[in-house]
Chain A
Amino acid sequence: MPEDIDTPDHDVSTPGTAVTSSPGSDMNATADSYRNTQRRTGARDTPRGEGGASLSASRLNRTLQMGYLQRKYTPYRTPRTRSMVSPAADRTNTQEVAAQPDWSGLVRCSLNVHHVTPLYRCRLDRAGLKQLSGGLSLHLAQLATAADGNLYRVAVTAKENTDDRIALEITVKRKDTTGRAGSLYAVLCNMEGEVSQLEQGAFTVLPLLLMTGPGTLQNAVVSWLEQRFDCRVCPMSFQPSDLLWAMALGLIRGNNEKVKKQTLDLNYDVPLKEAGLDKISLQIPIKHAQALLSSVAQDTENDLQLDELYLFRQALENHMFDYFRIHLDTMKLSLVATPVLFVDKTGRLKILSVDHVPAVLRMMTSFAFERSPLTVSLKAANESRW
């Protein structure tokens, strides 16, 4: 059908195919009619004028293609698909369970997410780690006031994952109290890139930093990291599309029976604060949300497409409009809570079940990679036209 030629390309890796079709979109054209009509707002060309007097947009586009007038797209765009399923190493395999690192320190506490530029001269062997512990405790002692001089005990360890990835784990405990009150726990890891990418010359790439603990301690650890490794640690904030990906991960992977409230919570920020309304919270039973997502998504086992996620969001917003006459699409999504995880737009994360920690970390690492300065500047260069 001539319309298919003008649907935008869904494949990230082929450049310059914004107005041509690819085999993927042809397959999509033969899918449900519901999905096709829902997709009409994105892609259709303008209707042909009557009597053939005016040139149709599809013919115009095709002649332009033949005339080679097209913008080149670099590969650094927002990814349109994400894998919701972890690689085979994550699946519960009784022989490999013992080799899994223990992520229980990250579960059920409020984590602040930061992204980190590559670390310079980070030695992860035993001697190096001892040096790091000593350095951090010295730094904390310098920052502490005279009254509580030697209050903190610092431990820096490395955690090995099944496929030889190393994560750096920092624990700062108060000497006088037991338990987790007043102590900090931080993990620096990289769950997404290939293992060979972890060391690039003298640099170690560990872009994701998750920290939990008192604010002053967090600031102290961040300043020590920046000093010691000559890197930048920036708090990560999530855009609504990132929150949607996290929600999809929570819906697809999540059946966490221990949580009392099995609902999907979405909080929207209302733009006009003077009206007295600050935010709108939408709660949906988790089974309905999962049923909706599986009806919209073609293949929840492996990859989820961005368009399918947008369809899900559109369905919820239309439902809200039909019943309450509230346009949720003028508002910004600020918080997503599922039984498995809880994500905020300011960068707070809470994981409620230890089985899903590797998958969540993988998604967070891919977000951190998208925010690294190199990809950001390449995206900006791509956007600027004239």
Chain B
Amino acid sequence: MAAEEEREMSEVLPEEILKPFHKMPVRNAATVLLVGSYGTGTQQLAKAMVDVCTDTGLKLQVRTTTSLPLPEENADTRPRIDYIVFIIDLTNRLSFSTVQSAVQCVDVEYFLGRACFVVTNAKGTSDQCVEMEEVSRLADMYNTMYICGAIKEGDQDERTTLANRLLRLVEVSAGRKNVSPLLVDLTCRQLCFQEEQTEFYTV
């Protein structure tokens, strides 16, 4: 059975994986989870998103965490997480490694349009410890889009722009627009076709 296989393979218990469809959705409300280590600006981004959302009629709840899996004490009272945002700060290697371990604790359904990576400090390569190449490789591996934005550096407008972008994606994911998030996700990405390379497949 699948259950035995996965216990010997990973250190994450099955109960701890975040799943999108195990709870009922709430009308006109959405919940976003921001995953980012200390210093990446999760609180500021959360505040910006809530500020943008106050007049749209959508009740937005933003939850932040520095690592996954989420603690079990709140598991029953926690609402359904509609969208997950992983925040990577290119000047902070720790943020990249926490995101790498966090994506293993998330059910694969989230990667079909209900999650994205936000990359901050992407301008100005002088202070960067994490290379953009590694981030794009991670995003490719999970087939999830990444957005480059600014949370702490720069001015208030950039943060608001990023919050607006994320809000569009959250609304789709919460079911407010009559479009499936998977469809939106497919239209966001360039699809590039190449010939099958059979010699690299192992059975």
Residues of chain A touching chain B, judged by Cβ–Cβ distance below 8 Å, are 3-6, 8, 14, 16-22, 26, 41-52, 54-57, 60-61, 64-66, 68-72, 77-78, 237, 239-241, 271, 327, 329-333, 383, 385-386
Interface pair B12/A47, CB less than 8 Å apart: yes
Name the contact of A16 in the complex, choosing from B10, B132, B197 (C-beta under 8 A): B197
- 5 smallest CB-CB distances across A and B, nearest first, come from A329-B93, A20-B200, A329-B94, A57-B108, A41-B100
27 pairs of residues in contact across A and B, judged by CB atoms under 8 Å = A14-B200, A17-B197, A17-B200, A20-B200, A21-B202, A22-B200, A26-B202, A42-B100, A46-B105, A46-B107, A47-B104, A49-B17, A55-B108, A56-B108, A57-B108, A64-B143, A69-B193, A70-B192, A71-B192, A271-B39, A329-B92, A330-B93, A330-B95, A331-B129, A332-B127, A383-B132, A385-B189
Instruction: Assess whether B97 is interfacial by the CB under 8 Å rule.
Output: yes
Name the contact of A68 in the complex, choosing from B108, B189, B193 (C-beta under 8 A): B193
Interface pair B19/A68, CB less than 8 Å apart: no
Contacts of A20 in B (CB 8 A): 197, 200-201
Interface pair B142/A57, CB less than 8 Å apart: yes
Interface pair A5/B141, CB less than 8 Å apart: no
Cβ of A148 to closest chain B Cβ, rounded Å: 37
Cβ of B131 to closest chain A Cβ, rounded Å: 7
Cβ of B113 to closest chain A Cβ, rounded Å: 13
Contacts of B73 in A (CB 8 A): none
Closest to B93 in A: A329
Contacts of A329 in B (CB 8 A): 92-94, 97, 129
Name the contact of A47 in the complex, choosing from B10, B91, B101, B188 (C-beta under 8 A): B10
Interface pair A68/B196, CB less than 8 Å apart: yes
Most buried by A among B39, B129, B131, B141: B141
Contacts of B19 in A (CB 8 A): 49, 54
Q: How far is the CA of A333 from the CA of B141 in the complex (A)?
A: 28
Q: How far is the CA of A30 from the CA of B98 in the complex (A)?
A: 26
Name the contact of B97 in the complex, choosing from A41, A46, A78 (C-beta under 8 A): A41
Q: Which of B168-203 contact A (CB under 8 A)?
A: 188-197, 200-202
Closest to A327 in B: B94
Closest to A42 in B: B100
Cβ of A307 to closest chain B Cβ, rounded Å: 12
Interface pair A330/B202, CB less than 8 Å apart: no
Contacts of B105 in A (CB 8 A): 46
Interface pair A18/B192, CB less than 8 Å apart: no
Name the contact of A50 in the complex, choosing from B3, B111, B131 (C-beta under 8 A): B3
Cβ of A62 to closest chain B Cβ, rounded Å: 9
Contacts of B111 in A (CB 8 A): 46, 57, 60
Contacts of B2 in A (CB 8 A): 48-52, 56
Q: Which of B122-138 contact A (CB under 8 A)?
A: 125-129, 131-133, 136-137
Contacts of B17 in A (CB 8 A): 46-47, 49
Instruction: Assess whether B72 is interfacial by the CB under 8 Å rule.
Output: no
Contacts of B197 in A (CB 8 A): 16-17, 20
Instruction: Assess whether B157 is interfacial by the CB under 8 Å rule.
Output: no
Instruction: Assess whether B158 is interfacial by the CB under 8 Å rule.
Output: no
Instruction: Assess whether B109 is interfacial by the CB under 8 Å rule.
Output: yes
Contacts of B94 in A (CB 8 A): 327, 329-330
Q: How far is the CA of A51 from the CA of B5 in the complex (A)?
A: 11
Q: How far is the CA of A66 from the CA of B125 in the complex (A)?
A: 36
Interface pair A54/B107, CB less than 8 Å apart: yes
